[in-house]
Structure 1
Amino acid sequence: MSRSPEKSNPSPPLKRPPNWSDVWFKNKKALNHVVFAMHLQSLTKPPKTNLPPEPDKTLIFDSSKVADRTSLLSDELLLQILSRLPKSQRNANSLVSKRWLNLQGRLVRSLKLLDWNFLVSGRLFLRFPNLSHVDLVHGCVACPRNSGILLTHKLVSFHIDSNISQGGFIPERYMLSVDEIDSGLRSLASGCPNLRKLMVINASEMGLLTVAEECPTLQELELHRCNDQVLRGIAACQNLQILKLIGNVDGFYRSLVSDIGLTILAQGCRRLVKLELSGCEGSYDGIRAIGQCCQMLEELTLCDHRMEGGWLSALSYCENLKTLRFLSCKSIDCSPGPVEHLGSCPTLERLHLERCQFRNKHSVRALFIVCQDVRETILQNCWGLDNDMFGIAIATICRKVKFLSLEGCSRLTTQGLESVILSCKELQSLRVVACNNVKDSEITPALSTLFSDLKELKWRPDTKSLLLSSLVGAGMGKRGGRFFKKT
Structure 2
Amino acid sequence: MQTMAFSPEKENQNSMWFKHKKALNHVLFTMRRHSLTSKQTQPQNQRQRPPLTEFSQPTSKIEDFPLTNLVSDITLLLSDEILLKILARVPRSQRNSNFLVSKRWLNLQGRLVRSIKILDWDFLVSGRLFLRFPNLIRVHLVNGCLISSRNFGVICTHEAASFHIGSDVEVKDWFFNEKSVLEADEIDRGLKILASGCPNLRKLTVMNASEMGILSVAEECPTLQELELHMCNDQVLRGIAACQNLQVLKLTGAVDGSYNSLVSDLGLTILAQGCKKLVKIELSRCKGSYEGIKAIGQCCQTLEELIISDHRMENGWIFALPYCEKLKTLRFLSCKQIDQVSGADEHLGSCSALENLHIEKCQLRYKKVLGALFIVCQNVRDVVLKNCWGIDDDMFSTASGFRRVRSLSLEGCSLITTDGLESAIISWNELQSLKVKSCNNIKDCAPSSVFSSLKDLKWKPDSRSILSANLAGTGMGKKGYRIFKRSSDWKSLPAA
The alpha-carbon deviation at position 409 of structure 1 amounts to 0.5
CA contact (8 A) 1:381 1:407 kept: yes
Amino acid at match of 2:164: H
* Separation (CA, whole Å) in 2 of partners of 1:238 and 1:100: 38
**Does structure 1 residue 315 correspond to structure 2 residue 353?**
no
Aligned to 1:58: none
The equivalent position to 2:396 in structure 1, one of 384, 390, 395, is 390
SS for the counterpart of 1:23 is coil
- Alpha carbons of 1:357 and 1:123: their partners in 2 closer, same or farther (altered >3 Å)? same
Aligned to 2:64: 29
* Separation (CA, whole Å) in 1 of partners of 2:358 and 2:188: 37
CA contact (8 A) 2:111 2:134 kept: yes
Aligned to 2:100: 95
CA contact (8 A) 1:134 1:199 kept: yes
Aligned to 2:3: none
Range with bigger deviation, 374-383 or 151-160: 151-160
Alignment of 1:210-225 (within 5 A): 210-225=216-231
- Alpha carbons of 1:439 and 1:92: their partners in 2 closer, same or farther (altered >3 Å)? same
Aligned to 2:443: 439
- Alpha carbons of 1:171 and 1:429: their partners in 2 closer, same or farther (altered >3 Å)? closer
* Separation (CA, whole Å) in 2 of partners of 1:356 and 1:78: 52
CA contact (8 A) 1:165 1:171 kept: no
RMSD: 2.2
- Alpha carbons of 1:328 and 1:367: their partners in 2 closer, same or farther (altered >3 Å)? same
The equivalent position to 1:175 in structure 2, one of 168, 176, 181, is 181
Amino acid at match of 1:420: A
* Separation (CA, whole Å) in 1 of partners of 2:437 and 2:122: 48
TM-score, normalized by length of structure 1?
0.81
- Alpha carbons of 1:196 and 1:406: their partners in 2 closer, same or farther (altered >3 Å)? same
**Does structure 1 residue 18 correspond to structure 2 residue 60?**
no
Amino acid at match of 2:416: L
Alignment of 1:135-214 (within 5 A): 135-147=140-152, 149-161=154-166, 163=169, 170-214=176-220
The alpha-carbon deviation at position 72 of structure 1 amounts to 0.9
Range with bigger deviation, 340-349 or 153-162: 153-162
**Does structure 1 residue 429 correspond to structure 2 residue 433?**
yes
The alpha-carbon deviation at position 417 of structure 1 amounts to 1.1
Amino acid at match of 1:18: S
* Separation (CA, whole Å) in 2 of partners of 1:336 and 1:325: 22
**Does structure 1 residue 326 correspond to structure 2 residue 332?**
yes
- Alpha carbons of 1:335 and 1:156: their partners in 2 closer, same or farther (altered >3 Å)? farther
* Separation (CA, whole Å) in 2 of partners of 1:277 and 1:293: 17
* Separation (CA, whole Å) in 2 of partners of 1:449 and 1:152: 49
Aligned to 2:449: 449
The alpha-carbon deviation at position 352 of structure 1 amounts to 0.2
How many correspondences in the alignment?
417
The alpha-carbon deviation at position 139 of structure 1 amounts to 0.5
**Does structure 1 residue 116 correspond to structure 2 residue 121?**
yes
Amino acid at match of 1:98: K
* Separation (CA, whole Å) in 1 of partners of 2:395 and 2:174: 35
* Separation (CA, whole Å) in 1 of partners of 2:73 and 2:153: 44
Divergent runs of 4+, >4 A: 164-169, 464-467
* Separation (CA, whole Å) in 1 of partners of 2:82 and 2:347: 64
* Separation (CA, whole Å) in 1 of partners of 2:154 and 2:458: 40
* Separation (CA, whole Å) in 2 of partners of 1:250 and 1:240: 29
CA contact (8 A) 2:156 2:175 kept: no
Aligned to 2:424: 420
The alpha-carbon deviation at position 399 of structure 1 amounts to 2.7
Aligned to 1:473: none
**Does structure 1 residue 85 correspond to structure 2 residue 84?**
no
**Does structure 1 residue 463 correspond to structure 2 residue 468?**
no
SS for the counterpart of 2:319 is helix
Range with bigger deviation, 165-174 or 426-435: 165-174
Alpha-carbon deviations, 1:118-163, whole Å to 9, x = none?
Answer: 0000000000000000000100002233445544344434333454
| Identical pairs, percent | 65
SS for the counterpart of 2:332 is strand
Aligned to 1:7: none
* Separation (CA, whole Å) in 2 of partners of 1:355 and 1:258: 24
* Separation (CA, whole Å) in 2 of partners of 1:221 and 1:305: 19
* Separation (CA, whole Å) in 2 of partners of 1:106 and 1:362: 56
Amino acid at match of 1:93: N
Aligned to 1:353: 359
The alpha-carbon deviation at position 338 of structure 1 amounts to 1.4
The alpha-carbon deviation at position 29 of structure 1 amounts to 2.0
Amino acid at match of 1:74: S
- Alpha carbons of 1:284 and 1:318: their partners in 2 closer, same or farther (altered >3 Å)? same
CA contact (8 A) 1:422 1:450 kept: yes
Aligned to 1:405: 409
Aligned to 2:109: 104
- Alpha carbons of 1:173 and 1:248: their partners in 2 closer, same or farther (altered >3 Å)? closer
**Does structure 1 residue 371 correspond to structure 2 residue 377?**
yes
CA contact (8 A) 1:217 1:239 kept: yes
- Alpha carbons of 1:253 and 1:349: their partners in 2 closer, same or farther (altered >3 Å)? same
CA contact (8 A) 2:142 2:160 kept: no
TM-score, normalized by length of structure 2?
0.80
CA contact (8 A) 2:178 2:259 kept: no
**Does structure 1 residue 127 correspond to structure 2 residue 163?**
no
Alpha-carbon deviations, 1:372-396, whole Å to 9, x = none?
Answer: 111110000000011111111x12x
Aligned to 2:487: none
Structure 2 gap segments, 5+ residues each: 1-51, 471-496
The equivalent position to 2:387 in structure 1, one of 381, 399, 404, is 381
Alpha-carbon deviations, 1:427-486, whole Å to 9, x = none?
Answer: 110000111111124x5xxx522323101011111225569x99xxxxxxxxxxxxxxxx
CA contact (8 A) 2:439 2:461 kept: yes
- Alpha carbons of 1:151 and 1:361: their partners in 2 closer, same or farther (altered >3 Å)? farther
* Separation (CA, whole Å) in 2 of partners of 1:305 and 1:164: 29
Aligned to 1:71: 76
The alpha-carbon deviation at position 165 of structure 1 amounts to 8.8
Aligned to 1:253: 259
* Separation (CA, whole Å) in 1 of partners of 2:55 and 2:291: 103
Alpha-carbon deviations, 1:183-205, whole Å to 9, x = none?
Answer: 10011000000000000000000
CA contact (8 A) 1:313 1:336 kept: no
CA contact (8 A) 2:165 2:174 kept: no
